[in-house]
Amino acid sequence: MGGVGSSGVLVGSAWCLCALPTKMAVGELGALERCLGLKEGKYSSKAQGGGQVPVLQINKGPSLAGLATIASYLAKEAKREELLGASIEEKAIVQQWLEYRITRIDRLSSKEDIRSILKDLNSYMEDKVYLAGNTITLADILIYYGLHPLMADLSIQEKETYINVSRWFSHIQHYSGIRQHLPSLIFIKTRIYSNLH
């Protein structure tokens, strides 16, 4: 008499909003290294701002701490400086979105927060193909990594609500080498919900 067991049948609607674990940040930097064609670096982590931040040990100098700092360093190491922005304006815009990633996206604390950043990004992306300038930059790559877990949790209807973010996201994930180990998310091109306000 096992009764109606519930094992394995229920699917919870859990979503997690905790600060990004370092393991993920390191995994992400690893993905970036592969994408840039660099060798695997030596990473550790340390506490900062109430969470853990990745630390990269560099052969020729002191270690560097912080996701954005390390990512910028990697771009320079790979001689892909264009990823940091072509002009001064673009450089500042790239830096802006990297900080946005660390201070906003990695610190979401409620579903309301998620909606508010998606809303802002959606209106920002309304007339843009890339976050900064007219080519892909580090900003696109790191915001893409940062948003991936959130986007994976959106329903079709929500993806449609944030249509510009979805369009951009779908575009970036098809860039060769960027997606790496992350699952490809599905976006439907034809709108289903016409009555969204």
Partner 1 sequence: MKLIVSEGNPHGIKVLAAAGLWAGGADIQRLQQEEKVVPFLAQPKLPALQLDNGNFLFIPNAICSYFFLSSGKEQSDLSNQWMEWEAAELQPASIAALYAHVVQGKKREEALQSIQKSLHHLDQSLAKTKSTYLLNGSLSVADVVVWASVYPLYTDLSSLPEDLTHFKNWFTNISQLEECQKAAESIVRGQGASAFKLYLQKSPAPLLPSEKTACNEEDDTAPQALSEEDIAAAAEAWSKGLADAPRPRKPQHPILPVDGDKNIMITSALPYVNNVPHLGNIIGSVLSADVFARYCRLRNWNTLYLCGTDEYGTATETKAMEEGLTPQQICDKYNAIHTAIYQWFNISFDYFGRTTTQQQTTIAQDIFNRLLQRDFLLTDTVEQLRCEKCERFLADRFVEGICPFCKYDEARGDQCDKCGKLINAVELKSPQCKVCKETPVIKSSKHLFLDLPKLEERLQKWLDKTLSAGDWTSNARYITRSWIRDGLKPRCITRDLKWGTPVPLDGFTDKVFYVWFDAPIGYISIVANYTNQWEKWWKNPQQVQLYNFMAKDNVPFHSVIFPACLLGAEDNYTVVNHLIATEYLNYEDGKFSKSRGVGVFGDMAQETGIPADIWRFYLLYVRPEGQDSAFSWSDLMLKNNSELLNNLGNFVNRAGMFVHKFFNGCVPEMELLSEDKRLVAQVAAELHQYNQLLEKVRIRDALRCILNISRHGNQYIQVNEPWKCIKGTKEEQKRAGTVTGVAVNMAALLSVMLQPYMPTVAGTIQEQLLVPHEANVLTDLFCCVLQSGHQIGAVSPLFQKLENDQIESLRKRFGGGQLNGDNPEIQVKAQSKVPAPSVDPITDSLEKVKRLQLDVEKQGNHVRDLKSKKAEKSVIDGEVQKLLTLKKELALAEGKSPDPPAQKSKKKK
Please report, as residue ranges, which positions from 92 to 111 form the binding site for partner 1 (by CB under 8 A). 92-93, 95-96, 99-100, 102-103, 107, 109-111
The side-by-side arrangement of strands in the sheet containing 51-57 is 42-48, 51-57, 64-65
**Sign, CA torsion 81/44/52/144:** positive
| Site pattern 127..166 for partner 1 (x: CB under 8 A) | ---------------------xx--xx-xxx-x-------
CB of 40 vs partner 1, minimal distance in Å: 19
Binding mask 31-50 for partner 1 (x = CB under 8 A): -----------------xxx
Residue appearing with tokens 């919870």: 12
Question: CA–CA separation, 120 vs 126, rounded Å?
Answer: 10
Single residue of 29, 35, 68, 136 touching partner 1 by CB under 8 A: 68
Angle between helices 88-103 and 138-152 (to 10 degrees): 30
97, 143 contact by CB (below 8 A): yes
* Given 42, 89, 129, 135, the residue binding partner 1 (CB under 8 A): 89
Q: Does 4 bind partner 1 (CB under 8 A)?
A: yes
Q: Is 91 in the site for partner 1 (CB under 8 A)?
A: yes
- x/- track of binding to partner 1 for residues 163-182 (CB under 8 A): --------------------
10 binds partner 1 (CB under 8 A): yes
Q: Give the whole-angstrom CA distance, residue 14 versus residue 12.
A: 5
Closer to partner 1 by CB, 176 or 190: give it: 190
Report the alpha-carbon angle 189-192-197, nearest 5.
110
